[in-house]
Every structure is written in structure tokens, then in C-alpha cells.
Structure 1
């Protein structure tokens, strides 16, 4: 893979903190941030966990020697988002790429979830994209740029997990992506989404595993995938790299499944 696909660009990755799970699996935001840096971008890593953000910056330094800065923000808080974006611009000088990765699932059916649970899920998975887009769009409009939103295959089909709030929120991310893509297409800003499928990340074991051990969780998800294996955070990061780069300069409003064919399977 050719290096330098984001050379000279500045990227902000919301939810970019590095967390690891069994077998060393990493989070999508961290994989994307390090991939962007490897391909020449200067990166602002935004996360509510300062240590996680610093771990990503350290990984970028070890991986590529790239320039990166760790910023702290709860992306459900408008004021903190605006502050983080201002800090990113102060460090990077500009913003060309934005990736919105913040999100998490909450299991439960209608008889288990409260209205508070529902609102929290929407805030974490949908409000964060809106707030980050609101704060960064003026900067993307200055030179044209790319926004990549991380959605989920759960936004378009049943994936075997009862998380209606998560599915609904990610469906909202899809339509927000399309709406922004068309609103700003003539002004040089592209907005696309990656629909992540059964991806092996730390959150899977923390939120979806239940009483099962790590090996069982992994094996069950492998079976659910048409390819016979779950994807990796790097699979999502590579797709995000394409959407962030000029190679996708005529691509906007796209909902790109990265799911091993899960979205195409009827059952």
C-alpha cells in the first residue's frame, strides 16, 4: 500500500483513544488515527479518556514517527467539542479530515431498556456525530475536506444482538451522513459513512460478551460472519483511509459496509 495518501492533511479523530482487548485487539478510532498518521496526516486524537488518547499518540510515534496531539473531550457535551476543535486547529493549523467514531451498544429489549437508556444511547451514537459535524464543518468548508462517520451494519439489518437504541441511532447516523453530503457537496466537502459489521474490538468483550468467556465470544461472532471470521479494526481503518483520501474525491453520501458480506446476506 502506497504511503503518503494523506500527506499534508490534518485529521481529527473523535473517539480515537487506544484501548485493547483479548489477543491485543484494538479500537477502531485508534486504528484509524494511526493509519491516517502512517499515511502522512497530522492527527488530533480526541477522547474522553486522556490516558487512552495519549496511548494513541504514543503508538503513532512508535509506528510512523508522525505528528499527533491528544485532546480530551466528552463528545456528548457541545462546549467540550467546540473547545477540542479549537485546540485541534491551534495545534494542526487546519482540518481536512474528520472521523466520528464515538459509539457503544447497550443490550436489552423493550422490556429491559428505560427511556433514560434510550436517550443515552442516542446521545452517545448520534448526538456525538451531530456535535462534531457542527463544530468541524466550518473548517472543512475552508478548503474542502472529508468527513467519515462510523456507523454499523446494525443500522440496516438485524445482526443477532438486541440493541434497538444502537440500531436506531446508527440508522440516524446514516441519514445524517447523506443529508450533510448533499447539503455541502457543491461546497467541496464530502461526507461518507462506514458501516462496520462484526468487528473484533475491545467493546465487544466489554459490552456484548455477557457471561461467555473471550474465546467463546470470538468464536460465536466468527460463525455469524459470511467469511467465517470477524473483521478487525484495521479493516475499518483501511476503508476510512480511502474515504478520507483524495482517491475518493468523487465519492460522497455513501454508506460503505465493511462487514464481510453480512449486509448482503438475507438470513
Structure 2
């Protein structure tokens, strides 16, 4: 405990949109447990307020901030609020993401393509653009972007994830660019490649599909938001001060290990 004491963190897409614990909520809770003051960003304030109340009930520090992170003005207001309220900004956790409709280049609607890009990739650009100058003023910072195995293997459990896979691959390149451009200013950027984690976003798939996902993982266990959150804590902490530009799989060994047929 205390690995993030004295730090101020922004977590976008912090509160789960359905019942259960998502990656953003787990990360925010763990950041607070490790001593960070956490700004919980969601489009709808009521969900972020509920998460903030949960964190405060544990003795942590958290506040909700309503913002659509695809809107430049809202993102700038988010960063300005954080520094005005707490005096600094040390950690940015870009967690916002949507799947979009299953489609291929032949079938995708252009409006859906643009919506997925704005949510998954442009939001990260806007948040970094607003937060990096504040991090620089404080002497550095840590950025953690949340990507997906779909950005590596091109699939998202079902065929036809062209927009989602493209944006998640783009987020990895974006992370490397940030890491390279700002390393000399002590601003680190790393990326989590999240595998078949059971979150509210995928719970609608049903029990059979979730069981197939579990069996596809070499460790033969189901990932949770806590697994993602613990990795985010590691990368955000000063213990990772010499780690930047890393693509860290949180996937039960899926990318690294290929099982023999059983």
C-alpha cells in the first residue's frame, strides 16, 4: 500500500456502464488504495459519483467529473479542474473504449467507423494533449493506455472487428510515439493489451461464450478488472520509473503461449 501516495490521477471511463466491475473502476479503486487522489471521468456524473462514494467509504480520495472525452473543450476543462483542485497531475489512465458494430471494410457504416475512432483513439489524443503540459509542470508523469489483443491479432472474439481492431492497434502506435517524444521530460507512456477479461462490457455474451473465452486462455482462468488494475498500478508507480514504451499483455498467456490440442 502507498505506492501512489501523493500522486493525482485521472481515470477516464472510470465507472462501469452496467452491473459489475469494469477495468476502469478496478483501476480507480486500486489507485486510491495505493494513496492516489483520483479524478473519475465519465459522461454521466451519477455513475462516477457512485464509484467515488465507494472509494471514499474505503478511506480513499476520489471526485467525479462529468466529461465527454471526445470533446476538446470538455477534456481541457477536465485537466484544468484536476490541477486547480489538487495542485498537480501525475497519472493519466486512458480507459475509454467501445466495440462498435461487427463489420468488415465492405459492410461497415462510415459513421460507426468514425464514432469508434473518436471514442477509442481521438479521446486518448485529446487527453494527452491536455494533460502532458500539466505533467511537465510537475516534473513528469505516467500515461497508461488501455488497448486490446484485437489490436495484435485482428479479432475480438468474433469476425468483423475492423474498427475496434484498427483503433486498438493505433493506440499502441500512439503510445510508442508519446513514449519517444516525451521520455526526456520524464513523462512515460505504456500500454496494456487486455485479453478475454470478463467485464460488464462483455457480460452480455452469455455463459457459453464466456466459457469458450476462458478455455482459450493457456492459464485456463478468467481475467477480471482487478488484473488490469494491478498492472496499471505497476506502470503508474515510481517502481516503473525506467519503463516506457511497453506493450504489456494482460491475457493469461494467450499471446506468448500456444497450447497443444487436447
TM class, shorter-chain normalised? over 0.9
> What CA RMSD, in Å, does the superposition of the two structures yield over aligned residues?
1.4
Distance in 2 between the 1:117 and 1:49 partners? 21
Structure 2, gaps ≥5 residues long = none
Q: Which deviates more, 78-87 or 216-225?
A: 216-225
1:175 counterpart (173, 188, 192): 173
Q: Kindly indicate whether the alpha-carbon contact (under 8 Å) linking 2:23 and 2:225 is maintained by their aligned counterparts in 1.
A: yes
Instruction: Pick the aligned partner of 2:39 from 30, 44, 50.
Output: 44
TM-score, normalised relative to structure 2:
0.93
Tell me whether 1:154 sits opposite 2:146 in the alignment.
no
Distance in 1 (alpha carbons) for counterparts of 2:89 and 2:16: 21
Aligned to 2:68: 74
1:29 and 2:21 matched: no
**1:104-158 superposed Cα distances (whole Å, 9 cap, x missing partner):** 1124222432111111111111011101001100011121110000111111114
Q: Displacement of 1:218 after TM fit?
A: 2.1
- Residues 5-14 or 219-228, more deviating: 219-228
The 3-state SS of whatever aligns with 1:264 is coil
Q: What's the counterpart of residue 193 of structure 1?
A: 191
Q: Does 1:264 align with 2:247?
A: no
Query: Is the 1:11–1:96 contact (alpha carbons within 8 Å) kept by the matching residues of 2?
Result: yes
Per-residue deviation, 1:220: 2.2
Secondary structure at the aligned position of 2:98 is classed as: coil
Q: Distance in 1 between matches of 2:16 and 2:55?
A: 11
The whole-number CA distance in structure 2 between the counterparts of 1:17 and 1:135 is 21
Contact 1:97 1:146 in 2 (8 A): yes
Q: Specify which of 75, 79, 86 is matched with residue 80 of structure 2.
A: 86
Q: CA deviation at 1:266?
A: 5.3
The alpha-carbon distance between structure 1 residues 230 and 153, as it changes in their structure 2 partners (threshold 3 A), is same
**Displacement, 1:20?**
4.4
> What is the alpha-carbon distance in structure 2 between the residues aligned to residue 14 and residue 123 of structure 1?
14
Superposition pairs for residues 125-144 of structure 1, below 5 Å? 125-142=120-137, 143-144=139-140
8 Å CA contact 1:19, 1:26 repeated in 2: no
Moved over 6 A (4+): none
Alpha carbons 2:154, 2:161 under 8 Å: kept: no
* Matched residue count: 255
Tell me if the contact between 2:18 and 2:201 (Cα under 8 Å) persists in the aligned partners. Answer: no
